Amino acid sequence: MKTKMTMLALAAVAACALEAKVQFGVPFADHVVLQRDRALPVWGTADAGEKVKVCFAGQTVETTAAADGSWSVQLAPLATSCEGRTLTANDAAVNDVLVGEVWYCCGQSNAELPLCGDNPHFRDGKGLLRARMTNKPLVRFCYQSNYRTSVEPKKAPAKPVEWKTFTADNLLKGSSFSAMGFYFALEIHNALGIPVGIVGSYFGGTRAEAWTPKSGLESVPSCRAYAEQKLLNEEEFRKGRENKTVKFGGLQDQPRVLWNEMVAPWVPFAIKGFIWYQGCSNADDGLAYADKMHALYNGWAKEFRNPDLKLYFVQLAPWGYDKIATIQEAQAIFAAAEKNAGMAVINDRGNLDDIHPNDKETVGMRLAALALSRDYGFDGLCAESPTVKDWKVEGDTFVLAFNHANRLYVYNPNWSSIDVGFEIAGPDGVFKPARITTLVPFFGSKERSHGAIDGDGLRVRAEGVTEPKKLRYLHSRPWFGCLYGETGLPVGAFHIGD
């Protein structure tokens, strides 16, 4: 009897200890990377009223858990550290914590396309080789996609947080990480030599509104209706489909629901910024997509409590969609208007037979170049694709000058001097194929060129158009970019003269 009472007493003590155990919040698991040079929110749960002491890197901060058991503190900015140290909150411990740069990778299926995997058409073309060649323990990733939705912002993710190092075993096993995110993080690490952490949340075939918090949708007048839209849970959606009152395709098509499910649990984790590849599902929005990008950025910056949050995103690659140039221009409009955003142009990497081009190394490199040039002191690196600075008409010829390029060149696989993507219209509004008149011919050929352009800027004319009024670039099939700045970055779709 005495033994039984003793066992019950010990069990009660253990239960109390378990109940009173302090726990860390979502991001704080072994091998986490913390953002350097920013105040660091750290949070978690405990018993109501419990004293919590947080210690890391010589700092100690104390607080008391609120009535709902939540607690939070803020650590002073930390310097870069490659030393794996321990973060503690009372008896709770997070081991092997590094300090460096932290980014979030998000979007739809082109953001999701994995480094490795069993589907040759849905993985990076070099991924298997690159994974086996990679041993970068200072670079860590956390995969957070669970392909679910939520009508309210969640505080905890459905998928357990697990930080993994960039090593072959981790990259080749299980759900391989985003190829775009992998190459981006690797480029940042290789250039800076410091720890890098990257989180990945993505869901194929989803719209920008689904990834946007309510605060972001409220910040843009044209998007406010999305902020007020009533959201359906799984049961409500099922019933709506049965009685035919639901007019959309899936739960994930609703605004806010993917932010609520997969990103909100990470708020307010300190991050440098996020990289974004999305837009195919919003392609019919045309120029209105620019407003949705503003809402997305505003919401993330507010919820992560970072007014300087960076957003580097991918302009859509051509995949056979007839109105591709319009949404590409919407993306360019947003990039020009938001000082903390930058756009990577990849119209030279599309595939008209596959919406998922498998060269994500170029994508990650161009995104990383934006971050390195804008945020990390690589002043001599021009990471911006050329854009039109000025233009005029001289006789039957458009004369254009560009930003971010003193000189331009053409590269197309067939060496054509004709198929370069330009069209010109006269007063009748009918566009005709145009050519660059200053393109240096290949051994005197009118049809072939080795790609050099004589002189600065660009001179373009169309046969038979004597009074040119409008010019456009990459507005017709096959939409592939072949005009580059001297840095090797392609010119994006544009039109002038309207």
Q: What is the DSSP letter of 119?
A: -
Tell me what pLDDT residue 272 has. 98
Tell me what pLDDT residue 244 has. 86
DSSP secondary structure of 172-183 = HSSSPPBHHHHH
Q: What is the pLDDT of residues 166-204, one digit of tens each?
A: 999 999 986 689 999 999 999 999 999 999 999 999 999
Interatomic CA distance for residues 295 and 297, integer angstroms: 6
Per-domain boundaries in the chain: 103-375, 388-496
126, 139, 130, 132: which is closest to 186 by C-alpha? 139
Q: What is the pLDDT of residues 376-431, one digit of tens each?
A: 999 999 999 999 999 999 999 999 999 998 899 999 999 999 889 999 999 999 99
pLDDT band for position 248 (cuts 50, 70, 90): confident
Tell me what pLDDT residue 175 has. 67
Tell me what pLDDT residue 146 has. 93
Contacts of 260 (CB under 8 A, 6+ apart): 149, 150, 151, 152, 153, 154, 213
Q: Is the pLDDT of residue 111 over 60?
A: yes
Tell me what pLDDT residue 113 has. 97
Name the least confident of 93-102, 356-365, 455-464: 455-464
pTM: 0.94
Q: Is 178 within 8 Å of 115 (Cβ atoms)?
A: yes
Interatomic CA distance for residues 53 and 401, integer angstroms: 60
261, 313, 307: which is closest to 289 by C-alpha? 313
Q: What is the pLDDT of residues 5-39, one digit of tens each?
A: 444 434 433 433 344 499 999 999 999 999 999 99
Q: What is the pLDDT of residues 264-275, one digit of tens each?
A: 999 999 999 999
CATH code of the domain occupying 103-375:
3.40.50.1110
Q: What is the pLDDT of residues 310-355, one digit of tens each?
A: 999 999 999 999 999 999 999 999 999 999 999 999 999 999 999 9
